[in-house]
Structure formats: C-alpha cells, structure tokens
Amino acid sequence: MRVLVAMSGGVDSSVAAALMVAEGHDAVGATLKLWGGSSDSGCCSVADVDDARRVAQQLGITHHVFNLAGDFDRAVVAPYVASHVAGRSPNPCIECNRHIKFDRLLARARRLGFDALVTGHHARVAPGEPGVAHRLLRGVDPAKDQSYVLSMLGQSQLDRVVLPVGELTKVQVRTEAARLGLRTAAKPDSQDVCFIHSAEGRGGFLSRRMDLHEATVIDGGTGEQVGSVDAVELVTVGQRRGMGHGADGQRRYVVAVDVPRRRVTVGGARDAASDSVVLAPGSLTWVSGPLASGSLALSQMSAHGRAVLGTFESTRAGTRIGFAEPERPVAPGQTVALYDPADPDSVLGAGIAA
C-alpha cells in the first residue's frame, strides 16, 4: 500500500511512519507548514519540521513539506479569533483536524495517488458492522486517547485513514522509538495551541487581533457586583480560576458570559451545574449514522474529560443532550463527543455546544 504519513515532528507520528515501513508499505512523509508566526508549542515550529525530516532520513523514506498556511489561517486561526469576539470557547485542534489534516491533506493524498493517510493519533479504526465499513475507537492508552479530537470523522475519511499507534501505549511508542534510535524518542508531547507562543499566551495572541474589554463580575444570586475581569472575551463558562470565593467561602464558577453587556455572572458549584447541553444547528457529524431521538449516549466535553451518560434528543426545535445527573456547564463553542454506552470505546459522532 502506498501511504502518506503526516509527520508532525513528534514521537507518535515518527513511530507511525516506522511501523508503516516495517510492514512493507511504500511510505512517504509529509510535514505541514501551517503557521508563519512564532511558535514553541509543537507541530508548527522550524525545529519540528527539521525533526520530521531527520526521522524520515533515518527511516529511508522521502519527506515533503506542504505549505497550507493560508488554509490554516482561514479555517482555524480566523474562526478562533472570531469565536472569542463572540464570547465562545473554540477548540482549534479539532478544527485543524476537521479542515486541514482530514480534509485538505487527505484530499491532496488522494490527488497524489496515495491509498491512505497515516497519522500518529492515539485512536483506532476498526471494522464495522454490516452496512457500516468502519468504527472509530479510543486508543488503547486511556491517558493518551485522542478519539475526542477525531470525533468529527465520518466513513469517507475513515476509509482512507490509518492510525497505527492507537494500538500502543505511550510507553510502548517511546520504547519502539528508542529501539530504532529515532531522534524524537524522548521529545516531550505538545500540550498547547500550536500557534500561540507560551511567552504571550492566549491573551497576548488575541490582543493583537481583537479588542479586549473589561467586564464586571456579578453574583447570580444577589445581583451584586463582586469584582471585575480585564477581558470578558477570555472568560469561559464553567471557569473557576480567578473568580474568587462567595460569602459562604465556597469557590465561585462562571455561570454566564455576556460580551455585549460586558458582564460575567458567577455562582456556586450548584448554580453552575447544568442538566443538559444544546448543540449548535448544523454542527452534528456522525461516524456512521445519526442517533435516533431518545437514544442513550455517553458525552465527553473535553479531550481527557469524563464521559457522562445522557439522552440524545433531536426535534424540530433543535438538538440537546439531557444528562443523567447535573454536570459542569459546557462552554459554547466546545465540542461534545458522543460514545456508545454499550461499547464506551466506540465514537458515535460529535456536535458543538451552542
């Protein structure tokens, strides 16, 4: 099989490429140039491109660099900024997977005659049931599982995607990289948004691209002003950092963010709890087919969050997931990944919180 391996310069994609070579596939490495600004968070820096190139040399495979910076700016960075202007909490890594890796890059792989696109994500593609070719499953390492950030993939993508390291734990990945003498064997994992430099952080990045506004913090129970924040656009529903404590000594959580009125409403843990999440119209994607209204589903609201049981409800008025028990609120703009309660490793689909 002729495969294009997306090599980010990290250990996972390095080992993914090595496994393809070991299996006898005709592998070619490709690193994406996505961000022209400064970066020190992984997968977008000059050093990462060099690491990927050197690993390809070690493996004896051809390596290319594809410049998709324009696409990345339009499909990931610009919407990221626009979401903060509107007081939403976007997930740029998911949007990069949706629009860049498994859209632009996958399309290019097809045009160039490759049979499949290989990535280093910790997730698995498995055979489906009759009528459904593929299932998307969690990686075998719970601590490194990345099925959440791939939860928007459908059958057309899974038909041409290979995820070899999903069958390995992280320890096994690093052990294999060390055995092969790959230069990325001990390289730390990327943790942050790749286009935001740690020296400036999210606030510094956004302040150069949009206006940030001070806002008052209001106690939702009494209606009294209890503080202020420097930038309402940087506050997230459910946030507790920087919100202080109430009169009862308990920590306060953000219950609502109103950007136009420059207001942040806070309350106790009970005030912040929610019994459901509404999904934005048009945001639902399915691995195989849509759930019937009234079906049970496990909902995961962050990359390594706890999956909670709820009921999927779809009507003409919209789509919501009612939780079996009150949960911390889901910030607008966050992805809600859905898993099968009968097989908690199996991804059903995803939507974006309204």
Q: pLDDT (tens digit, 9 = 90+) per residue, 79-112? A: 999 999 999 999 999 999 999 999 999 999 999 9
Residue 42 has pLDDT above 70, yes or no: no
Q: Choose the catalytic residue: 43, 44, 93, 194.
A: 194
**DSSP conformational letter for 269:** H
**128 alpha-carbon distance from chain centroid:** 24
Q: What is the tens place of the pLDDT at every residue in 222-259?
A: 999 999 999 999 999 999 999 988 878 889 999 999 99
Q: Which fold has domain 2-121+163-180?
A: Rossmann fold (3.40.50)
What is the average per-residue pLDDT within 160-168?
A: 98
In the predicted structure, residue 337 carries a pLDDT above the cut 90: yes
Please state which of the ranges 2-16, 240-254, 294-308 shows the lowest mean pLDDT: 240-254
Q: Render pLDDT for 51-89 as a digit per residue (tens, 0 to 9).
A: 999 999 999 999 999 999 999 999 999 999 999 999 999
| Domain boundaries for CATH 3.40.50.620 within the chain | 2-121+163-180
C-alpha separations of 21 from 58, 105, 258, 332 in Å:
11, 20, 53, 42
Query: Which CATH code, of 2.30.30.280, 2.40.50.140, 2.30.110.10, 3.30.70.20, is assigned to 211-272?
Result: 2.30.30.280
pLDDT band, residue 194 (cuts 50/70/90): confident
Residues of the chain with CATH 2.30.30.280: 211-272
96 is catalytic: yes
> Is CATH 3.90.1010.10 what the domain over 274-352 is classified as, yes or no?
no
Residue 191: pLDDT above 80?
no
Residue 340 · residue 349 · CB < 8 Å: no
- Of 43, 44, 93, 96, which is the active-site residue? 96
For residues 133-156, average pLDDT: 97
Distance CA 224, CA 198 (A): 35
For the residues 131-145, what does the mean pLDDT come to? Answer: 95
Q: What is the mean pLDDT of residues 304-326?
A: 94
Which DSSP letter does residue 330 get? P
User: What is the mean pLDDT of the segment spanning 21-33?
Assistant: 97
Mean pLDDT of the chain: 95
44 is catalytic: no
**Residue 301 clears pLDDT 80, i.e. is over it:** yes
What pLDDT score was predicted for residue 41?
A: 59
What is the pTM (predicted TM-score) of this model?
A: 0.94
Provide, for the chain, the percentages of residues in helix, strand and coil under a 3-state DSSP scheme, each rounded to the nearest 5. 30, 30, 45
Q: What value does the mean pLDDT take over residues 255-268? A: 96
Residues 6+ apart with CB under 8 A from 285: 151, 152, 153, 154, 349, 350, 351
CA dihedral 145, 150, 156, 157 (to 10 degrees): -80
